[in-house]
Amino acid sequence: MKKKKSLPGVIYIVICFLFLYLPIFVTMFFSFNSSKSLTKFTGFSLMWYQELFADAEIMSAVYVSITIALLSTVISTILGTATAIGLSKNKKVIKELIININNIPIMNPDIVTAIGLMILFSSLKIEKGYMTMLLAHISFCTPYVITSVYPKVRSLNPNLANAAMDLGATPWQALYKVILPMIKDGIFAGVLLAFTMSFDDFVISYFVTGNGVKNISIIVYNMTKRTNPTINALSTIVILVIMVLLVIANVVPTVMKKRRKSAAQAQKEAKELA
């Protein structure tokens, strides 16, 4: 017998969703406001989107955010996946030691990591700018990738790669034909997490940047110091991009799985008819 949902529980869930998503909808709604007011809607207009795309500083920040997020995601995914696979081949003591060391940047407050990286770059006399921001993003994204990929690697049968090489595969073929396909879910989760962490970062980016290099988070922070509805337009675009990526990430694998299932079913029926 199905349990009926209690009214207080439903109300609590609705309040939680309103608390989480109502500010997002308000931001998107006022991005189409025809006036500078952030509280009173005076009419529909796309003027803030026009100003957004006409602002060279904001477009430069968008370019910096996207390129750094993509580069740091790719590099940290390669480093994190290689580290996770390598950990599975080490002794238990070394595994636990490296995993504990890997957890330190994740548990560290961002401000501590930011100050540490700032001091490191200053002591090495590295000029702050695009490259220091990229290196910083790679450094804090890689531990998250390792954390996402390692459980998948640990659950693999250690004899699979050996069996593939016994059947004539080279170590590289065993890696990308056997191991990587079986841990792709963990890698995909690591990619999404690394991209999100990099694209969204403010504290670390603020401390390690220089020479006028700014990402979206820094631009948004600067916009909050004055009334500028362009921030609503920028936030709306970022929200829509994230929503599209989430839809693609969830829908595409399901569609591909259904197509493979249909193709397998069609092959089976063809064999039965033959």
DSSP codes, 37-74: -SS----B--HHHHHHHH-HHHHHHHHHHHHHHHHHHH
Summarize pLDDT for 201-239 with one digit per residue, the tens. 889 999 998 888 888 888 888 877 776 778 888 888 888
pLDDT above 60: residue 121: yes
Question: What's the pLDDT score for residue 274?
Answer: 63
Q: Which of 218, 102, 82 is nearest to 153 (CA)?
A: 82
For the segment 23-45, the average pLDDT, to the nearest whole number, is 82
Query: What confidence category does residue 138 fall into, taking pLDDT thresholds of 50, 70 and 90?
Result: very high
pLDDT(72) > 90? yes
Helices and strands of the chain, counted as H and E runs? 13, 0
Q: What is the mean pLDDT of residues 137-152?
A: 90
- Helix-helix angle 130-154:92-107, to 10 degrees: 140
- Residues ≥6 apart with Cβ < 8 Å to 27: 232, 235, 236, 239
Q: What is the structure's pLDDT at 76?
A: 94
Q: What's the token pair of residue 187? A: 């890698």
41 falls in which pLDDT band (50, 70, 90)?
Answer: confident
Q: In this structure, what DSSP letter does residue 33 have? A: B
* 34 contacts: CB under 8 Å, gap ≥ 6: 42, 43, 44, 45, 47
Rounded CA-CA distance 274/167 in Å is: 32
Give me the pLDDT at residue 3, please: 55
pLDDT at 177: 81
DSSP run (H or E) holding 16: helix 7-30
Token look-up 């996402």 returns 148
Our measurement of the distance from residue 246's CA atom to the centroid of its chain's CA atoms, rounded to an integer in Å, reads: 10
Mean pLDDT confidence for 167-190: 82
- Mean pLDDT score across all residues of the chain: 83
| Token pair in block for residue 159 | 């004899």
Rounded Cα distance, 66 and 237, in Å: 13
* For residues 236-257, average pLDDT: 78
Stronger pLDDT, 175 or 120, i.e. the higher one: 120
pLDDT score, position 1: 45
In the predicted structure, residue 2 carries a pLDDT above the cut 60: no
Segment 131-146 shows an average pLDDT of: 92
For residues 19 and 35, the model is more confident at 19
Residue where the block lists tokens 């995601």: 73
pLDDT grade for 136, boundaries at 50, 70 and 90: very high
